[in-house]
Structures are given as C-alpha cells and as structure tokens.
Amino acid sequence: MNGCRLGLGLLVTLASLLLLGTALATVHWVDFIVNQDALIDVSGNPLTGLVSSSILYNTRYRGLFQTCFAVDNSSSPLMQAIGAQDGCIIDPGITNFTTGNEEYDRRNVLLGASIILFFVSVFLIVVGLAVEIIGQCGNSFTKVRAAAIIIFIAALCNLAAMALFTTIKLIEDKQLDCCGFPASWAEDLLINNTEVKFYYSYFLGWISAGIGLIAPIMFCHAAGEDEDERVDWNKSHDRDNRGYGVDEHMANIPTMTKRDSHSKKKKLDYGVNEPQKVDSIYSWGYAGDTKQGSKKSHGSHHSSGRGNSSEKYMIDHDRIYT
C-alpha cells in the first residue's frame, strides 16, 4: 500500500474529527457582544436595571445546544430567573419544541435536523477510520475504498448540517419576530450596541467539513496506484512462473515434445497451431527414419546411400548434403 498517502489521509480524517468535536463541544458559534458601557439614559446614568432584568442586554455566546452568559455572578437574580446552570441555558428549541409560531417551529425542526446530521457525521467518521485502519493492516484495497466512501458521506452530512445551521441563523435574523431573536429587536439602544457575529466554533465546523472531503480522495488515489502496481507485479510473476518474462522472445521456439498420432514419433511443438512450411526442417522433422527409399512427404529423412556408409540428410529445396 502507498503508506505515505494513506498515513496522511488518516491524519486528515483525524483532524476533521477533532475539529468537528471541538466545534460541537464549544459555545462560540454565534457571539452576541453587548457594549454595556453605552447603555445610558439621557442624563448619562447607566441603565443597570435594564441590564439586570433582560438577557438581551447581556453578552452571551451561543453554541449548537446552549447559550452561555458572560456574567461575573452566575447566582444573580437574572440567571436564577432563567434557570441558568453555571451561567448557561439549553436552547429553547430543544426543550420547548413547538410554540404555535410557524416560523419558530420551522426553526426548531431545522435545528433538530442539523444536530442529528452532526452526530451521524461523527459516527461515520469513527466507523470510516476503523475500516481504514483494518484495510491498511490487511492490505485490502476493498476496505480502503469502503472507508473512503464512508468518510465522504460523513463529510457530506457535516456540510449539510452546517448549511442548516446557517439557514437557521438567517431565519432568526430576518423572519423570527419573537422569542428574543434579532428579527424581533425594536429598540435602537439594543440594536446599536449589540454586535452579532459568527465565531470560531462555527468556522471550525466548516473547516472540518472541507478537509473531510479531502481524505477520501487521498485514500482512493493511493489505493488505485497500489492496485495498479499489484496488477503489474502479478502479471510479471505469472509470466515468470510460465517460464517467460525474462526472455519472452524465446517463447515461440519449438520443442520436440508432441508425438504424431499415426507414426508415434516425436514432432516439433510450437505451442500454437501455426501452419508449417512443407519440406522445412521445422515441419514435422521425424528423426531416426532409417528406411531406405521412403517417400519424401515431409521434411528431412535419414537414409544411407548405396556404397556409402556416411549418414545423409536431404532437404529438397535447399539441396544441402552432409
């Protein structure tokens, strides 16, 4: 197997899994940064009551499953009022799936679908890694290709989940006029002093999906090259086992291994049914025919001349005598 490419493919797949796991475990998909210093009344006094009574006027970090608040005291009345545990609350779309609002219900359906796709992607990456390792240890091209297909499907699930989450954010910003989402913000004080942005967890998810598409290509390319090399080696090995491969130009030299079915004498064997020239030394070429006066039907004959004890070999066309 092409160990370099396959090893690099394994590292890329592991990196994809690590990045996706980090993205799912962190809460910085969307950050809501509130400039509380600018929250003042017309007299320049801080609006502390507004800050302490509404989560919208507090900096918060949203993840796929929960939202966490940047508060110094998690036991504050506001955190207790919203039921925050360690400063975080579960996304309402998970705990309260339907509210009767059509847009909000659609948002929650998309959120549930994205979470399922993320977990399917993680599961398939783990399975693909296991199959890939088994395939490399067993030098199996089939398992390597199967692992590439599994990891490719995992990357597609990851891409689909990221696309769904992006769609959810657009719905929240443009269509949802309830539940504290940006589309429902009406106060200029809140809009002008809140920065909403995708942050590193979101981008890690996209990077994981992108490099997840690279690993299967590397696996298939490496397996294809190694399979071609194995096929070439097998062909060469088969030729060597048949006696060829080293001097293939010697393959068609005839050998005297066959016997004529009528005369029971050895004849030249070309290995193929090739037409043979009449009166050629390589036609039938019977040897040891000592009968005098035998008909010259094929090739050379062995005869003893009258008054001459020397052996005589005759080829009609070439007229060669010894």
Confidence category of residue 267, pLDDT binned at 50, 70, 90: low
Q: Is 63 within a domain?
A: yes
Domain boundary among 226, 242, 276: 226
**CA 190 remoteness from chain centre:** 47
Segment 191-246, tens digit of pLDDT? 999 999 999 999 999 999 999 998 888 877 765 555 444 444 344 445 445 544 44
Report the C-alpha gap between 55 and 36 in whole angstroms.
12
Q: Are residues 121 and 161 in the same domain?
A: yes
Q: What is the pTM of this model?
A: 0.67
Higher pLDDT, 108 or 144: 108
* Confidence check: pLDDT of 18 > 90: yes
Burial tier of 8 (Cβ tally within 10 Å: 0-12, 13-18, 19+): middle
Amino acid sitting at position 237: H
Helix (H), strand (E), coil (C) string for 77-142:
HHHHHCCCECCEEECHHHHCCCCCCHHHHHHHHHHHHHHHHHHHHHHHHHHHHHHHHHHHHCCCHH
148 plus 279 within the same structural domain: no
Tell me: pLDDT of 152 over 90. Answer: yes
Same domain, 64 and 16: yes
**pLDDT above 60 for 319:** no
76 belongs to a structural domain = yes
More confident residue, 5 or 25: 25
Q: What's the pLDDT at 261?
A: 55
Does any domain span residue 103? yes
Residue 208 and residue 160 share a domain: yes
Residues 54 and 177 both lie in one domain: yes
DSSP state of 280: -
DSSP string, 12-26: HHHHHHHHHHHHHH-
Written as one letter, the residue type at 58 is: N
Residue 130's pLDDT is 92
Mean pLDDT of all residues in 44-60: 86
Where does a domain end: 207, 226, 245?
A: 226
- My answer on whether 109 and 200 are in the same domain is yes
Residue 249 burial (10 A CB sphere; 0-12, 13-18, 19+): exposed
Give yes or no: residues 105 and 179 share one domain. Answer: yes
Confidence of residue 320 (pLDDT cuts 50, 70, 90): very low
The one-character DSSP state at 40 is: B
Kindly state the helix (H) or strand (E) to which residue 72 belongs, with its residue range: none
48 band by pLDDT with thresholds 50, 70 and 90:
confident
pLDDT at 304 over 50: no
pLDDT confidence tier of residue 287, bands split at 50, 70 and 90: very low
pLDDT in tens, 75-120: 778 888 888 888 899 998 888 767 678 888 889 999 999 999 999 9
Domain count for the chain = 2
- Lowest-confidence segment of 87-101, 260-274, 298-312 by average pLDDT: 298-312
C-alpha distances out from residue 170 to 204, 216, 250, 282, Å: 19, 31, 76, 88
Shared domain for 142 and 204, answered yes or no, is: yes
Say how far apart CA 305 and CA 319 lie, in whole Å: 15
Does 80 lie in the same domain as 166? Answer: yes
DSSP state letter for 319: T
Q: Are residues 196 and 307 in the same domain?
A: no
In a domain, 123, yes or no: yes
Query: Do 102 and 183 have their domain in common?
Result: yes
Q: Evaluate if residue 273 carries a pLDDT over 80.
A: no
| Residue 301 lies in domain | 253-322
Q: Is residue 243 part of a domain?
A: no
Residue 167, domain member (yes or no): yes
Is the residue at 232 inside a domain?
Answer: no
More confident call, 58 vs 295: 58
Q: Is residue 248 part of a domain?
A: no
Indicate if 195 and 300 belong to the same structural domain: no
pLDDT at 73: 67
Sheet strands (E) in the chain: 30-34, 60-62, 66-69, 88-90, 194-198, 255-259, 266-269, 302-304, 311-313
CATH code, 210: 1.20.140.150
* pLDDT for res 9: 81
Confidence of residue 71 (pLDDT cuts 50, 70, 90): confident
